[in-house]
Structure formats: C-alpha cells, structure tokens
Amino acid sequence: MIDKTFLHKVRNQIIGINTKVPLINGKRIKYINFDNAASTPSFKRVAYKVKEFLYWYSNVHRGTGFKSQISTKIYDEVHDLVANFFGVDTKNNTIIFVKNTTEAINKLSNSLNLSPKDIIITTPMEHHSNLLPWRDKSKVIYINLDQDGRLDLDDLEEKLKEYKDQIKLVAISGASNVTGYINPIHKIAKLVHNYDSKILVDAAQLAPHRPIDVKDDTSSEHIDYLVFSAHKLYAPFGTGVLIAPKSTFAGNKPDYTGGGTVKAVTLDDVIWAGLPDKEEAGTPNIVGALALGESIQLLNKLEWEKIIQNEDYLSNYTLKQLRKIDEVILYGTMKSDTTTNQVGVIPFNIKGIENTLVASILANEFGIGVRNGCFCAHPYIHHLFGLSDQEIEKVKGDISKGIYTHKYGLIRISFGCYNTLAEVDRLIYAVKDIIARKKAGIDLTTNYEFDNKTAEYKPKNNINYSKYFKL
C-alpha cells in the first residue's frame, strides 16, 4: 500500500506540485508530471538552500576572501557527501563533477587511452550516452537481450571468455530508461572481475530509485566506475558525477585543460594538479554541486524503503489498470509481471494511434506530462518492436530524408517519489477517453497539426508560453 503520511511529507518538498497549466479548451488544470525519467522537479529544500547560498557565493579555490573560503568549503564537502552516499573509498577513488551523465561517460572514454583493438562490451538497452562515446575509439561488442529486453548474462560470460584479453570495460545501465528493468549490477561486476576486466554502471536511472553501494575496492562485486546526474535526483542545477579509480587518470593529460587543472605552468611545461582538480577544468558549477549535496542528504532522510515501496505499488497499480484496456499495448515483462525488479518506468502504446499524438493529447487536453518517442535508446526500441535489419534501415533512411511517418516509438510514464494513485487514475481516465473517441470515429487530430521538423503534434491554437514564464 501507499504510505499516505510519507507521501504527504514528500509532496510538500516538491516545487511546482500545485502548478496549473492551460488546456486547449481554455481551462487550467493542476499539472501531473509523469516524465521524471527525463528530469525531476527540485526539492524545495534544495532551492531554498541554493537561494541561501547565493548570498555567500564566490569562486572556489585559491581565493582568500571570506565568501571564497565558504564556497570552497561547501564545494569540497559535497565531494565527500557523494562519496559517502555511494560508499566510495576516496583513498583509491575520486569524485569528479561534470555537467551530466553524458559528459561523465565521455570523460571516461577520453581517459582510458582506448585503441581500435580494445573492446568495450555494452548492451543494446543503453541510452545513446553509453553507446556513442565508445564507438569511434574502440570495438564495441553487444550483450544479447532476451525477447522481453532483459540482459542475457550467459551471453555476457561467453563474450568475456571469448574476448578476455582485449576487453577494456563492460559498460551497462543500472536501470533502463525505457523499460525500467534493473540490471543485477553487483552480480555482473563479480562476473566481469572474474575475467580481469572492469565495469562501468550508468546509474542515471537507478540512482533516483534505489540506494547504490559501489562496495569496497577489494570486493569482487565492486563497481569500478559509476556515473549519474543530479537533475534526475531532484536537484536540476546542472551537475553530473563520475566516480572512478584515481589510477585511471594517473599520467594522463586531462581531456579539458586550462584554469584549475594545474599546479604550475611555464612557456614550455606544465605540472598537473591532483584529483579531482585536474579533471574539473575551469570554474565549476558550485551552485549545482551544492544542490546535489542538499538533495542526497534529504533522500537519505526520506528513507529509501518507503520510496521503493510507494513507487513499486504505484507501478503495479498502473500496470493493473492498463492491462484491463484491450487497446493498450505493453512491452516486455510488463504484459504480465509485477515490477519488483524495475524502477517506476512504464512504456506503452495505444493500438491505431500514433504515440506522438497520444502524448500531445495527454498534455494539451488533460494536463499530463509524459514523454514519447525512442528516449535516446533507438536500438533498444528496435529490439522491443522486433524490427528486422531491413525495417531498421528503412526507418533510418526515412529519418535522414525528414520523413517521420513510421510509428516506431512509445509513450513513457515515469514516476518520481511524489506521484500519487489519484494522478494515475487521471491518466487511465484520459487513455480510456482517447480510445473511446477513436472508436466513435472522432478525428483526434482536429485540434492539432503535425510539425515535420520536430515530429510532434502541436495545438493549432498556439499556446502563448510567454504568458506563463519569460526571460
């Protein structure tokens, strides 16, 4: 069951929880955010702490002024908070602040001294940010997926055996941003270490929903590299994190050079700074780091067990309601299983209606924010749809020509720790209403026009967004 007392406490911490948005019928309605996998709203406490800090803000490191000393102290403390949050041994590992998960993975790919002979093992279920950074530097091998889109660990072991001496890294997502499947990261880590390789976990989707312990360096289940973004952890102020062994950067020139990365510079030589400074070029996002620090402290106080319990109940309730609707298409194990080994992400479609049209109707007629399309995980969507190589090539060819008539995309519901059963009920009502109108022969596109540039259905009576917020 949902812990209503806990949920009330959490909802009181969310900025914008009661914001009303306009509908195309001229009315306004309280907004429902089911797009948390893309980004979460800010905790109030995070925003308040940022506002409080701005009175003391200054640049960090080497500034003797009082405000600079405070800013430096806070910035360094957040590195320690992150280490404690994930159980990182900072004697052998470093915490590097970047913009987001994408930059963190790119930084790692630039720091591993990869060659075309090196092999990166990854999966077709990855976000593009954990696919593309590896492709131009090394050979990429993909772990097989089963029909439902889950990893085949037997295939992983076969590939570890086959390519043992060439493998530089195994890069996997902690949880899928499409299906929400949670990968057994510690089991995989143990397997990877048995073959003398290292593991990277993209925790962008896992970190907001589950506590993560990277474990001691001596553990066979140790996570060597971990990346995540603060904007998915209720601190949307532009910070990401790379957790990595210090040895990764030993003797390497940083991928970005300049201010803050050095101890000394002459016209002919340079002495690089220690970690993490060497890898955090230029003035860092001090405010973003502060926001992350405040957020993870609050998440710990909110109790993970209750967060997991509420999200699991919400996900299973939603799936139960969706399964009752014949016109709804569910994917993978969600057709029948409960979601005990998934984070709160549910992809679906409605038979005979484009996903982009459904998403637009939900937003503009019901005030419900979802996401539709392929979620920066095109190969995984292709797999879930069971597309042949020929069909994939056709989709690719059409897109290159600006043709968006293909229907290969999903509607994604993704929960945060603050979403409610009442919000789900409104979604289910909306889905049923859309289907009923379709059955009655009503043209669902009457109030919309298709934008070929963005592949979106947009309201014909353009909403004046500047009326609600502008620079």
What is the per-residue pLDDT across 313-344, written as a single tens digit (0 to 9) for each?
999 999 999 999 999 999 988 876 666 689 99
User: DSSP string covering 164-187, please?
Assistant: GGGEEEEEEESB-TTT-BBP-HHH
For position 250, what pLDDT does the model report? 93
User: pLDDT tens-digit profile of 282-306?
Assistant: 999 999 999 999 999 999 999 899 9
Number of residues written out for the chain: 471
User: pLDDT tens-digit profile of 137-153?
Assistant: 999 999 999 999 999 99
Residue 452's pLDDT band (cuts 50, 70, 90)? confident
For position 401, what pLDDT does the model report? 82
Going along the chain from its start, the domains and CATH numbers come out as: 4-41+303-467 (3.90.1150.10), 47-300 (3.40.640.10)
Which one from 233, 376, 381, 424 is the annotated catalytic residue? 376
> Average pLDDT, stretch 264-276?
97
Chain-wide mean pLDDT for the chain?
A: 96
Residue 403 has pLDDT above 80, yes or no: no
| Maximum Cα interatomic distance, the chain, rounded to a whole number of Å | 77
Cβ-based neighbours of 169, under 8 Å, separated by 6 or more: 112, 120, 121, 197, 198, 199, 200, 225
Total-model pTM: 0.96
Residue 194 amino acid letter? N
Smallest CA-to-CA distance from 169 within 146, 193, 153 is with 193
For position 194, what pLDDT does the model report? 97
CB of 435 closer than 8 Å to CB of 442? no
Residue 73's pLDDT band (cuts 50, 70, 90)? very high
User: pLDDT tens-digit profile of 184-197?
Assistant: 999 999 999 999 99
For position 338, what pLDDT does the model report? 62
Beta bridge partners of 389: none
Residue 266 has pLDDT above 80, yes or no: yes
What are the tokens at 139?
A: 């050979």
User: pLDDT tens-digit profile of 77-123?
Assistant: 999 999 999 999 999 999 999 999 999 999 999 999 999 999 999 99
Give the phi and the psi of residue 465 in degrees, each rounded to 5. -65, -30
CB of 79 closer than 8 Å to CB of 276? yes
User: pLDDT tens-digit profile of 206-238?
Assistant: 999 999 999 999 999 999 999 999 999 999 999
376 is catalytic: yes
What are the tokens at 120?
A: 């990166």
What are the tokens at 167?
A: 């493998």
Smallest CA-to-CA distance from 273 within 246, 299, 294, 291 is with 246
Peptide bond into 379 cis (omega under 30): no
Question: For the packed helices 286-302 and 66-86, what is the interaxial angle rounded to 10 degrees?
Answer: 40
Residue 407 has pLDDT above 80, yes or no: no
For position 361, what pLDDT does the model report? 98
- Neighbour count for residue 72 (Cβ, 10 Å): 17
* Percent of the chain scoring above 90 in pLDDT: 90
- Neighbour count for residue 386 (Cβ, 10 Å): 8
Residue 405 has pLDDT above 90, yes or no: no
Q: What is the CA radius of gyration of the chain?
A: 23
